[in-house]
Amino acid sequence: MAGELRHRRAPSEDEGVASSQRLDSAPAGNGKAGTSSGGGEGAEPRGGKRDALGWLEWCRGWMAIVGEFLFQRIAASHLANPLELPPLDGVSIVVTGATSGIGLEIARQLALAGAHVVMAVRRPKVAQELIQKWQNENSETGRPLNAEVMELDLLSLDSVVKFADAWNARMAPLHVLINNAGIFAIGEPQHFSKDGHEEHMQVNHLAPALLAMLLIPSLLRGSPSRIVNVNSIMHSVGFVDAEDFNLRKHKYRSWLAYSNSKLAQVKFSSMLHKRIPAEAGISIICASPGIVDTNVTRDLPKIVVAAYRFLPYFIFDGQEGSRSALFAACDPQVPEYCEMLKSEDWPVCACINYDCNPMNASEEAHSLETSQLVWEKTLEMIGLPPDALDKLIAGETVPCRYGQ
């Protein structure tokens, strides 16, 4: 695997200097978590309601994006490609969006490592063809791949409920859920799902949140288990207004809708991380793949797609982009890292960078006040009651407005 997992705490307002902690393992590269300062010039005064990032936060966010683009290949040069995985026989893993890009590579490598891989996809036929292709390429080993396909459309919350009900009905353990599927329709006009939600917010945040919540009974059966959300550095220029998730009041920009959805995912994941009891044994991780040439870019303007083709050195391919999610899903240090963050009451869940080292989420992601609002609004929008998590942990049935 990638090696050493380390975390450098960012300074809080009451601390003048940062302290650092380290988990020992095999040597690796010098991955560092960034620092967080709580606010940012240009923002509204503390206690006042903000509706956008402060200008300094916004500039720092874009600097982080540009820095990732320019230096990600150098920072991740210590990683093997493909990432070395441990034997995964007997491990059940659900991967959404597994027919292209990062998700395809995640599913393929997990299946080759012996895991029971469930490809949760919109196009089952394509997934079946991929499994057959992988099996043919792996025929010399003589071992059949343990992979199956289940239909899931994240643009339909009814489909999410149907998928979760079908899996939970098996009464089988689920060891890892990888929420990989996502969209980035840059330059496109605003679109809404049939559920009435802005499409970036639904596919990138709301549907994965509902899926994670509804699969908690199976994740408890598979404990220790993990929920891995494939996120993005773009969350650092996002801002989530809990009263306007769907960007009806604010001017719509596709890049902003994408960034907001990724920030909402970090915030919800952080609240889920804080609220799940340690004894439940479910770790929550957000993994940033880096800047990757995948089908997420299929809706980009043609000139931008062409630029992607002319800049191969800077941009990861799907296999390289899959490494952080695979690390988050399989490395034995990750649950210990999550437990450490929980014990320190860290405001953000574990975030793993493209170089398989911890990263610090954006300043805005550290705001517990807005994270709580995102938690409450998300549960409302996905049709779950406020006490859904407590009931699911207790083994009780929780009604959902969707899937009836």
Question: Tens digit of pLDDT for each residue in 92-150?
Answer: 999 999 999 999 999 999 999 999 999 999 999 999 999 999 999 988 877 899 999 99
Asked if residues 237 and 361 have their Cβ atoms less than 8 Å apart, the reply is no
> CA-CA distance, 110 to 185, in Å (whole number)?
28
Question: Tens digit of pLDDT for each residue in 189-225?
Answer: 999 999 999 999 999 999 999 999 999 999 999 999 9
Question: Tens digit of pLDDT for each residue in 43-91?
Answer: 444 445 677 889 999 999 999 999 999 999 999 999 999 999 999 999 9
Q: Which pLDDT does position 41 carry in this prediction?
A: 44
Q: Which pLDDT does position 380 carry in this prediction?
A: 98
252, 258, 313, 337: the active-site residue: 258
Q: Read off the amino acid at residue 209.
A: A
> CA-CA distance, 346 to 99, in Å (whole number)?
35
Q: Which pLDDT does position 122 carry in this prediction?
A: 97
Catalytic residue flag (residue 308)? no
Ordered by where they begin, the domains of the chain are: 88-394 (3.40.50.720)
DSSP 302: H
Kindly state the average pLDDT of the residues 384-396.
97
Nearest to 353 by CA among 259, 271, 232, 258: 232
Indicate whether this model's pTM tops 0.75: yes
Least confident range of 166-170, 315-319, 350-354, 390-394: 315-319
Mean pLDDT for the chain? Answer: 87
Asked if residues 225 and 240 have their Cβ atoms less than 8 Å apart, the reply is no
Chain position carrying tokens 């949140």: 209
> CA-CA distance, 283 to 367, in Å (whole number)?
21
> CA-CA distance, 144 to 137, in Å (whole number)?
11
